[in-house]
Amino acid sequence: MTDISATGQVVCMRGPMELDQSSPVLREYGSEQSLLSRPDGSSTFVQGDTSILAGVYGPAEVKVSKEIYDRATVEVLIQSKMGLPSVRERAREQCVRETCEAALLLTLHPRSSFTLILQVVHEDGSLLSCCLNAACMALMDAGLPMNNLFCGVTCAISKEGQIITDPTARQEKESRALLTFAIDSVEHNVLMSSTTGSFSVPELQQCIAISQKASEQIFSFYRDSVKRRYSKMK
């Protein structure tokens, strides 16, 4: 466990030296749950400077046009800070929705809806993986029944072939390929992958292996958050 009190008082700048590290690094991350009073479950997930706020309602009433007779309907809405929603948000929504549908036990709530709303509070790289992490923490906060937890990890392959995890916006811009994977908590399988750019098959397999290693850290973070939250209960 890290020393939490020290984190709040350390004053340091993210220097250029950290970008050239040989081993990939997960940026400082943190989360808070149950911060909004209206949604059934809410959370905020912060990775470096990227910050996402997630709220989930469910199981709730669903419109007749959208209802499915034997399972629940999952709706995901990603809202960016400025401007109207575009196709980019729709693509991310689909990635998050498919991951949630794989993780949630939908057959327990037929003809109901689970609505997950994600608000981008600040964007600084690794947006899709931060959305996935915030979504999972919100679903946990709402107490929705799930098969397994999931987490998102983004890898960037630089022009020299070096693999960087959890890239910042600047690192993403300078990379040759960007890969995001959703990893499940039970068997560390890949639930969803979203990639842009060109890369070779060995590089893909290495990125998957690195993401699986990084996901272990994130899952232990989930476990610690829940342990901390319920630590006062006997």
Partner 1 sequence: MRDTPLSNCERLFLLQAIQEKKRLDGRQTYDYRNIKILFGTDYGCCIVELGKTRVLCQVSCELVPPKDSRPTEGILYFNLELSPMASPAFESNRQSELLVMLNRQLERCLRNSKCIDTESLCVISGEKVWQIRVDVHVLNHDGNLMDAASIAAISALSHFRRPDVAIQGREVTVFSPEERDPIPLSIYHMPICVSFAFFLQGSYLLVDPCEREERVKDGLLVIAMNKHREICSIQSSGGIMLLKDQVKPVEMLLLVEGEHENHSSERIKPFPVLLCFSSFVLMQRKEGGKFGFAESLPIERITALKRDEAPVEMADVKDTAEEIINRTESSTEVYPPGLKTRERSAASPVLVATGTAQVGEGIVNSWGLEEDEDDEVIIEDKGGGTYNHNCICK
- Report whether 182 contacts 215 (CB < 8 A): no
CB of 199 to partner 1, least distance (A): 12
CB-wise, 119 or 148, nearer to partner 1? 119
- Nearest approach, Cβ of 128 to partner 1 (angstroms)? 18
Cβ closer to partner 1: 36 or 68?
36
Shortest gap between Cβ of 24 and partner 1 (angstroms)?
A: 5
181 exposure class (CB count in 10 Å sphere: 0-12, 13-18, 19+): buried
145 upstream amide cis, omega within 30 of 0: no
Cα(first)–Cα(last) distance of the chain, in Å? 22
User: Nearest CA to 154 among 170, 168, 137, 138?
Assistant: 168
Nearer to partner 1, 147 or 209 (CB): 209
Q: Where does this chain bind partner 1 (CB under 8 A)?
A: 2, 4, 7-8, 10-13, 18, 21, 23-39, 42, 44, 46, 48-49, 51, 53, 55, 57, 60-61, 77, 79, 81-83, 113, 115, 117, 119, 121-122, 124, 165, 201-202, 205-206, 208-210, 213-214, 217, 221, 224-225, 228-229, 231-232
Strands 175-184 and 41-47: unpaired
